[in-house]
Amino acid sequence: MSAKNHFDVIIIGAGPGGIYSAYELKKTAPNLKVAVFESGSALEKRKCPIGSNGVKSCIGCKSCAIMNGFGGAGAFSDGKYNITNNFGGTLHEYIGRDTAIELMQYVDGINLSHGGEGTRLYSTANTDIRKLCMQNDLHLLDASVRHLGTDINYVVLENLYKELSSSVEFFFDSKVDKVKKTDGGYEIEVGNDIYSCKKCIISVGRSGSKWMESVCRDLKLTSHSNRVDIGVRVELPYEVFSHLTEELYESKIVYRTQKFQDLVRTFCMNPHGAVVTENTNGIVTVNGHSYEDSAKHTANTNFALLVSKHFSEPFKDSNGYGESIARLSNMLGGGVMVQRFGDLIRGQRSTESRISESFVTPTLKATAGDLSLVMPKRILDGIIEMIYALDKIAPGTANDDTLLYGVEVKFYNMQVQINENLETELSGLYVIGDCSGVTHSLSHASASGIYAARHIAQSL
Ligand SMILES: Cc1cc2nc3c(=O)[nH]c(=O)nc-3n(C[C@H](O)[C@H](O)[C@H](O)COP(=O)(O)OP(=O)(O)OC[C@H]3O[C@@H](n4cnc5c(N)ncnc54)[C@H](O)[C@@H]3O)c2cc1C
């Protein structure tokens, strides 16, 4: 193998996990030869065809511009960096609570110095909203959140790429097919080409979950099944939640249902935001985001209400369960379905005319339908209970015209066995970010990248 194809460190995946690994490696050990392989495109080439040349819905591109490429799944996200151990992953269980928070703060500092200065940091510290929640059987989770917004998030990524590209070799449109263990480290196969390295970091995110399973099989790495979160996206007038969003931006509120004792939680709150669709391996689900730029604000706020499902023996395929529910909604609605809360409670489907007469204008064109034909009763009952509970702290949540889009599914990667260095059972092979099953957020994935990079820099 030519020296050209040999690196000290190879990083697979250029999402937040991969980017911050590269950043920290270059900062702490500038002489190391580092390469990043990414199956998607460079940032400026990431263009979803929907909306151009008459393309109205997902056409299943070979590489999805929304999920793949420099910036990973986070590139067009709302850019909410939550600094907390309470949600977004369980990184703290591996590296300790204080270290996890320090690293998330460190990432925040990098974001600020690369274009994010001037964005607001929201915090739950000293808020009266916690008490209000408790008085109504709801629980507010502690966090600080930096809201970059989709636009500033993009600027930060552009600046990081500019800085890194002079010293890190980036290979775009280069899907890694195989990872092999060698005597001195690792070899990766990219089409007909082979590259080698001393240390390898895998950070292929959720979109790389199936590939990650094959890596675990090939290299005999231990992994465990994980959970799946199923729910709906709620959309209502901005004013209903404004007392929460203006102070906290995003509030993670948890409720235990009376009927089944399940935990229902709010997730990904987008004041003045828009509801969007997401396509994961051909399955269309719902998501949401919002812009920092007030010119792009809508009149609505959206957030998800999710219920986690863990399965024990004999069923292990949590993601398969979530996929089946999403497929059912795709079958009935041709994609995402929308229903007014009032229609759901009266047991009637929403129709186009009922939605158009509604006082809430939907930000996503979805098929009017009946979510009770799609969602398992236990999950839907929990969501309805939670909407009534939220109505006590944000009156108007349980209004007839509140829109529910379904389904929102959060798939999790299986959990790969890693140690306190985020290293697998094979020395020198690190699995970080969402593909490890340990993180599921921008801040945790980024922090895991910094952590692994520091460990590698020390060991080399
Ligand atoms: C619409 C949307 C909005 C979101 N909003 C937020 C938010 O506001 N706040 C938040 O905390 N989180 C948010 N998330 C989640 C967040 O984006 C992820 O948690 C985060 O991006 C995970 O980072 P990662 O580096 O682990 O993986 P990813 O960002 O998924 O990056 C993995 C990269 O690896 C590449 N890859 C996959 N397989 C291969 C292979 N075989 N070879 C080479 N490359 C490969 C992929 O193309 C991808 O670019 C959002 C996600 C979506 C989809």
Residue 12: both structure tokens together: 């697979």
Summarised one tens digit per residue, pLDDT across range 4-19 is: 799 999 999 999 999 9
Q: Classify the phi-psi angles of 149: left when phi > 0, otherwise alpha if psi is within -120 to 50, otherwise beta.
A: left
Q: What angle do CA 228, 207, 115 make, to 5 degrees?
A: 105
Residue 149 Cβ inside 6 Å of ligand 1? The answer reads: no
Ligand 1: atom nearest CA of 206 is 30
Query: Residue 453: helix, strand or coil by DSSP?
Result: helix
Residue 408: both structure tokens together: 């929102």
* Cα 16 to ligand 1 centre (Å): 7
Q: Is the pLDDT of residue 124 over 80?
A: yes
Q: Is the pLDDT of residue 60 over 80?
A: no
Summarised one tens digit per residue, pLDDT across range 299-314 is: 999 999 999 988 877 7
Reported confidence tier of residue 280, pLDDT bands at 50, 70, 90: confident
CA distance 103 to 80: 16
Q: What are phi and psi of 411, to 5 degrees?
A: -85, 145
Q: What is the DSSP string of 332-368?
A: HHSS-EEEEHHHHHHT----HHHHHHSSS--SS--EE
What does pLDDT average to over the chain?
A: 94
Residue 80 Cβ inside 6 Å of ligand 1? The answer reads: yes
CA distance 190 to 281: 21
Q: Is the pLDDT of residue 58 over 70?
A: no
Q: What are phi and psi of 145, to 5 degrees?
A: -135, 125
Ligand 1: atom nearest CA of 276 is 1
Ligand 1: atom nearest CA of 443 is 11
* Cα 61 to ligand 1 centre (Å): 17
CA distance 253 to 86: 11
Of the candidates 161, 163, 196, 169, the residue with the CA atom closest to the CA atom of residue 8: 196
Ligand 1: atom nearest CA of 177 is 41
- Asked if 9 and 199 touch (Cβ cutoff 8 Å), the reply is yes
Residue 285 Cβ inside 6 Å of ligand 1? The answer reads: no
CA distance 140 to 128: 10
Q: What is the pTM of this model?
A: 0.87
> What pLDDT, on the 0 to 100 scale, is given for residue 62?
81
Residue 37 Cβ inside 6 Å of ligand 1? The answer reads: yes
- Looking at the chain, the whole-number percentage of residues with pLDDT higher than 90 is 83
Lowest model confidence (mean pLDDT) among 31-45, 301-315, 394-408, 434-448:
301-315
* Cα 159 to ligand 1 centre (Å): 18
Summarised one tens digit per residue, pLDDT across range 347-363 is: 999 999 999 999 999 99
Q: Classify the phi-psi angles of 426: left when phi > 0, otherwise alpha if psi is within -120 to 50, otherwise beta.
A: beta
